[in-house]
Structure 1
Amino acid sequence: MGEHRIRLDVSDDGVATVTLDRGEKHNALDPAMFDAILATTESLAADRRVRAVVLHGAGKSFCSGLDISALGDSGGAPALLTREDGHLANHAQRVATDWARVPAPVIAAITGNCFGGGLQIALGADIRYVTPDARLSIMEVKWGLVPDMGISQTLPRLVAADVAKELTFTGRIISGTEAHSLGLATRVLDDPLAAALDLAHEIAGKSPHAIRAAKRLYDETWSGADSATALMLESELQVGLMGSANQLEAVFAGMERRDARFADPE
């Protein structure tokens, strides 16, 4: 992964903890951090053991956004806008949008600053837990820019257009409490990391095939899909689950009042 920027740990029950590990810089995004995140999402997407992911930042902040000085010194900004063959999103966008390519649910635990690109990474997660005093901002206007790390694909699923515009036009900083009231955060908690880990372990105890299918169902149909396509995908996913080994294990475990023993996806 190049320079050290990420810590990745996978527990015995398949919970992957991803730590943005540049705490002394509030986990600001430099070229090495971009590369490390992409390598991590690729690894998680391919690891069949992973049943849930918790994403958080070391130190005081989740991620304070772009490290402008590091990008300027390295000439890395233009490279972030390049698209590799086979990818719809560019290098910078993939840091936020590739979390959707991870079949397992991704839970972001947000503390401290979550600005600009950092917020867009958090928006790429399936669930966001925040502290009441966390500080979130679509901050790009401060630098004379537009948010361009996949926010057009994530923000419309969470808030109305007028809310998105007000936050984007002003770049104002909002608290975790306000973020929750606006729909940007799922829950407000004093210890979002502990709560995220608890949720991840709970999810890890469910059938991984059912969880992956549910994530795919919502990701592909929540906005933009026509009714016929959405309803057909529901049926196709259900048919694929019914009678499968893990689906039968869920039934038998429930009837026998015991913990289920689910097999990892092949």
Structure 2
Amino acid sequence: MIAAVHGHALGAGLQLTLGADIRIVSPDARLGVFEVLWGLIPDMTGTQLLPDLIGRDKAKELTFTGRIVTGREAVDIGLATRVADDPRAEALAMAREIAQRSPDAVRAAKRLLDLAGRADLATGFAAELAEIGRLISSPNQVEAVAARLEQREPRFVDP
């Protein structure tokens, strides 16, 4: 999932973006953990996902103060992936690019990257081994290699 953020993403709006795999923001977007200003705490897994993205100390600072950051600062601290003048157009272009890749490889990579840091290394390495075992010589992997060697667009099958 790719989030395109322009305008404000405060409180629950920011927490919705935390669920995205990639966040593209406009330079003047305003993002913040706003709940403390209302005597509340972030919910919707905001307290769980935010420290993974920006570090525990920055997550505490934003959560305890309610400070709002611009899109540019959001990228600088790891809250957003990149800045674009037109986040929606950038997100759609990226989605088209990802859609041209093997759906099997993209899904496997997403599963592994989502597991990283949430399981011990032995579990992560075992998961990598299992995923690569499923991918090697699969129809979509063979098509990826053939398309590159033949310098053509791949034709993947997505059941």
> TM-score, normalized by length of structure 1?
0.59
Match of 2:128 in 1: 234
- In the aligned structure 1, how far is the partner of 2:111 from the partner of 2:65? 34
Query: 1:118-137 maps to which residues of 2 (within 5 A)?
Result: 118-137=13-32
Match of 1:147 in 2: 42
- In the aligned structure 1, how far is the partner of 2:56 from the partner of 2:148? 43
- In the aligned structure 2, how far is the partner of 1:227 from the partner of 1:212? 20
- In the aligned structure 2, how far is the partner of 1:251 from the partner of 1:216? 22
Query: 1:216-235 maps to which residues of 2 (within 5 A)?
Result: 216-221=111-116, 223-235=117-129
Match of 2:96 in 1: 201
Query: 1:165-184 maps to which residues of 2 (within 5 A)?
Result: 165-184=60-79
The offset of 1:152, in angstroms, is: 3.0
- In the aligned structure 2, how far is the partner of 1:254 from the partner of 1:162? 44
Of Structure 1 and Structure 2, the greater helix share is in 2
Give CA-to-partner distance per residue, 1:126-180, whole Å, 9 cap, x none: 0000011001110001111010111133112211211111100111111111111
- In the aligned structure 2, how far is the partner of 1:229 from the partner of 1:152? 25
Match of 1:5 in 2: none
Number of residues of Structure 1 aligned to a counterpart in Structure 2 = 159
- In the aligned structure 2, how far is the partner of 1:198 from the partner of 1:156? 28
Show structure 1 runs of 5+ residues with no match: 1-105
Structure 2: which amino acid aligns with 1:193?
Answer: R
- In the aligned structure 2, how far is the partner of 1:156 from the partner of 1:232? 26
Match of 1:162 in 2: 57
- In the aligned structure 2, how far is the partner of 1:205 from the partner of 1:219? 21
Structure 1: which amino acid aligns with 2:8?
Answer: N
Structure 1: which amino acid aligns with 2:79?
Answer: L
> TM-score, normalized by length of structure 2?
0.97
- In the aligned structure 1, how far is the partner of 2:81 from the partner of 2:93? 15
- In the aligned structure 2, how far is the partner of 1:143 from the partner of 1:152? 16
- In the aligned structure 1, how far is the partner of 2:75 from the partner of 2:154? 34
Identity %: 57
Moved over 4 A (4+): none
Higher RCO (CA-CA < 8 Å; seq separation 6+): 2
Match of 1:260 in 2: 154
Show structure 2 runs of 5+ residues with no match: none
- In the aligned structure 2, how far is the partner of 1:153 from the partner of 1:230? 20
Give CA-to-partner distance per residue, 1:195-228, whole Å, 9 cap, x none: 111110000000000000000001012x231110
